[in-house]
Structure 1
């Protein structure tokens, strides 16, 4: 993982994506506590550096009226009461350790990427954000989809590799090691923290 990464807090946003209780439990399994600890440390250092934090969560109205039967993934969720429970309380809640603080923005999405049907683009434009630091679950889901869309919109990008998780470890490794570096930087949580500390010293 590349550790050389610099950022300008005034123009950077960290996107914590789909890190909801039920999803975290399923995707991180035995590593849940360590995952949450890493993510919490990243968010705390981002706050200390004055970096914008945006929490992205996936959610639906009762009955999932936002979901089309033509959508293979979400259509399957809509037809399964068990899967729908992932998006209801308490499973849909962002764990307190990594939850939003103060006036941090929370965006609810209805598709894989953080962009379609949300006001994310408007918020980023209003805040003059040109750099996005991404992490979340799943690596092959929200992280991949959001990265591709953000890349096409000309954002400078970084993914915090050890704050991502996927049920398919081989696919996770392929994305982190081979694909994501073609769209931006891939850093560890320690690499991001080091970059955020450098901004503290410069301010």
Structure 2
């Protein structure tokens, strides 16, 4: 599907998800600089092609009133001051190289999926978006959850495989090689850039 994936910039949004400094450092480790460089290249080319850029970040109010004690994953964050620091400055900020620019949209979420409890769906409808290009951390977290919800909502989908990361490398590979391709295209950052450059030449 990667070879046949086409982009209409006016109807395409690139979602950069949970790429906050602390999360990037934990999940990419020694490959952090290379990961950020690839993500920055994708975002810059998408902007140049006229696509909508949306940054999804995790954040909470003081005291985490958004978190239920019934939510095992997020309640673990609520009960740990150390874990909460991951979503506060400086760890919770988006690194400068991929930071939001003037026309970019920033959405703060309190769950795994970029759709859960946010106004993402409304923003996509308001901007007549029918195609989503996903990148972010973790592959088995926000990328998987958002892709499933977007697939059920009938969006055209692509995932930038080398701009995703996960602590479970086997699960990461399984999702990219087996699960995601059944629901959309899996592209490399270079493949996405080639597709966006092809779009520029055709416009």
Q: Aligning the two structures, in what range does the TM-score lie when normalised by the shorter sequence? A: over 0.9
SS of alignment partner, residue 35 of structure 1: helix
Query: How far, CA to CA, are the matches of 1:2 and 1:25 in structure 2?
Result: 29
TM-score normalised by the chain length of structure 2? 0.98
* Conserved 8 A contact 1:107-1:120: yes
Query: How far, CA to CA, are the matches of 2:171 and 2:153 in structure 1?
Result: 25
Offset from partner CA, 1:96-132 (integer Å, 9 cap, x none):
1001101210000000000011110010000000000
- Please report how far the alpha carbon of residue 202 of structure 1 lies from its aligned counterpart in structure 2 after TM superposition: 1.4
Offset from partner CA, 1:18-52 (integer Å, 9 cap, x none):
00000000000000000000000000000110010
Give the structure 1 partner of residue 193 of structure 2: 193
Query: How far, CA to CA, are the matches of 2:55 and 2:29 in structure 1?
Result: 22
- Please report how far the alpha carbon of residue 2 of structure 1 lies from its aligned counterpart in structure 2 after TM superposition: 3.4
* Conserved 8 A contact 1:11-1:127: yes
- Please report how far the alpha carbon of residue 95 of structure 1 lies from its aligned counterpart in structure 2 after TM superposition: 0.3
Instruction: Name the Cα RMSD after superposition.
Output: 0.9
Give the structure 2 partner of residue 12 of structure 1: 12
Query: How far, CA to CA, are the matches of 1:108 and 1:134 in structure 2?
Result: 16
Query: How far, CA to CA, are the matches of 1:54 and 1:6 in structure 2?
Result: 20
- Please report how far the alpha carbon of residue 4 of structure 1 lies from its aligned counterpart in structure 2 after TM superposition: 3.5
SS of alignment partner, residue 140 of structure 2: helix
Give the structure 1 partner of residue 111 of structure 2: 111
SS of alignment partner, residue 193 of structure 1: helix
- Please report how far the alpha carbon of residue 3 of structure 1 lies from its aligned counterpart in structure 2 after TM superposition: 4.0
- Please report how far the alpha carbon of residue 5 of structure 1 lies from its aligned counterpart in structure 2 after TM superposition: 1.8
Offset from partner CA, 1:164-191 (integer Å, 9 cap, x none):
0000000000000000011100000011
Query: How far, CA to CA, are the matches of 1:20 and 1:198 in structure 2?
Result: 30
> Which runs of at least 4 in structure 1 moved beyond 2 Å after TM superposition?
1-4
Structure 2 stretches lacking a partner, 5+ long: none
Offset from partner CA, 1:139-186 (integer Å, 9 cap, x none):
000000000000000000000000000000000000000000111000
Query: How far, CA to CA, are the matches of 1:25 and 1:128 in structure 2?
Result: 34
Give the structure 2 partner of residue 25 of structure 1: 25
TM-score normalised by the chain length of structure 1? 0.98
- Please report how far the alpha carbon of residue 91 of structure 1 lies from its aligned counterpart in structure 2 after TM superposition: 0.5
* Conserved 8 A contact 1:16-1:134: yes
- Please report how far the alpha carbon of residue 64 of structure 1 lies from its aligned counterpart in structure 2 after TM superposition: 0.7
1:53-132 aligned within 5 A? 53-132=53-132
